[in-house]
Structure 1
Amino acid sequence: MRYNIKGVCKIFHEEEGWGWGWISIEGEDDVWVHFSSIQMDGFKSLTKSDVVSFDLEENLNLKEQSRRAINVKKLVKFK
């Protein structure tokens, strides 16, 4: 497991109250994310281009979701 990685939401699908998507990491393969791994109050969702931090869990026995983001937190952008 790797900790405190930064990435950008590439795509997030919201379907019937739950969602899943992909986070891009510079120089690496995309990482799968499930809404249950997002750390926030209320409806858990990401929007394309959201900057996030997360822990990376790897399970090479899985095909599509072998690299999964957990403990996902949106990072606040300051102007």
Structure 2
Amino acid sequence: MKKEEIFEKVKSVFKDNEIRTEDLQLSHQLGSGVLKIDSVKFMKLMVDLENEFDIELDYRDTFGQDNTLDELIDYIQTKYAS
């Protein structure tokens, strides 16, 4: 799956979880700024992303102050391909 397709699907999952996506950029950091979410929403988002792509996400590798949306998409792309 192409990176652009994954980005669009991720945005759709974010919208379903009431996360603003209008100004979403690949450089945005997950868990802060535009993408700051509470722990309950975080857990639901993780499950929804796993279901959308039929993969298992390791939150330690995908979310954190130093992780960007671009890194999440790369991670999903790698997991999805395997």
Work out whether the TM-score is over 0.5.
Answer: no
Q: Which has the higher contact order (CA 8 A, sep 6+)?
A: 2
Is the helix fraction higher in 1 or 2?
2
Instruction: Indicate the structure with greater strand content.
Output: 1
Could you state the TM-score of these two structures normalised by the residue count of structure 2? Answer: 0.27
